[in-house]
Amino acid sequence: MSNLSLANIVTVRLYTPSVLDHVVLRLVCEKPQHGFAISKELDADESLVTVMKVRRPLVYRSINSLEAAGLIRPSKTEAGVHGSERTVYSPTALGKTTSAKWLESIVEHPRDARIELLAKFVLRSRANLSNKGLAKRQRDLFSVFAQEFKAKEQAAEPRTKLVARWRYESIHAMIRLLDSVIDD
């Protein structure tokens, strides 16, 4: 018989930041701020709003996840408008590194480009970083996908041809956009 009991089982949750977590982390890296200010920033910046619309509770969930992962830390408290204190968060060294790496990383699959890649472009622009290098690396990867999608379209049976064509045309449109970013 084993000495294993529920009390001896340890659950480990591996944390992978979501796109929203990365956006919140980046805003904290831009300047230390509290959750309400981050939420207002996400609502006020038109370029961010066009990429993602975020409800305030999700911002606080991201803050909790980022803090638990050691990517941000409370740095001070401020008096709130209605009397309650607000905790201002600052990035940790790991948070700064994580944010910088994410801003430089390509999106691994075309289905993630709509939000994640656009968020990176917007946040890079806010930091006065060029988008050309990221766009070129992204285009190079998506060109491989485009070749695969074109081959699948050509080999598709009539009942699946429309979906195959959709995938090819979608990635081709993304490549054209990336080319325009590179050429700007």
Q: What is the pLDDT of residues 151-183, one digit of tens each?
A: 999 999 999 999 999 999 999 999 999 999 999
The residues, ordered by sequence, that sit 6+ positions from 38 with a Cβ below 8 Å of its Cβ are: 24, 27, 28, 59, 63
What is this structure's pTM? 0.87
Q: What is the pLDDT of residues 76-122, one digit of tens each?
A: 988 777 778 899 999 999 999 999 999 999 999 999 999 999 999 99
For position 118, which CATH number holds? 1.10.10.10
Q: Is residue 1 part of a domain?
A: no
pLDDT for position 85: 87
* Confidence category of residue 14, pLDDT binned at 50, 70, 90: confident
Range of the domain at 136: 132-183
Confidence of residue 13 (pLDDT cuts 50, 70, 90): low
Residues 107 and 154 in one domain: no
Domain boundary pick from 81, 110, 126? 126
Cα dihedral 151/156/161/164 (nearest 10): -40
pLDDT-derived band at 4, boundaries 50, 70, 90: low
pLDDT in tens, 20-62: 999 999 999 999 999 999 999 999 999 999 999 999 999 999 9
Nearest to 39 by CA among 82, 73, 89: 89
Beta-carbon contacts of 17 under 8 Å, excluding residues fewer than 6 positions away, are 25, 65, 66, 69, 71, 98, 102
* Residue of 103, 129, 90 whose CA lies nearest to 17: 103
β-bridge mates for residue 88, sequence order: 34, 76
Query: Distance (Å, rounded) from C-alpha 140 to C-alpha 138?
Result: 5
Residue finishing a domain among 93, 111, 126: 126
Q: List alpha helices for 45-183, DSSP H.
A: 46-51, 56-68, 93-104, 118-126, 132-155, 158-183
Residue 8's pLDDT is 59
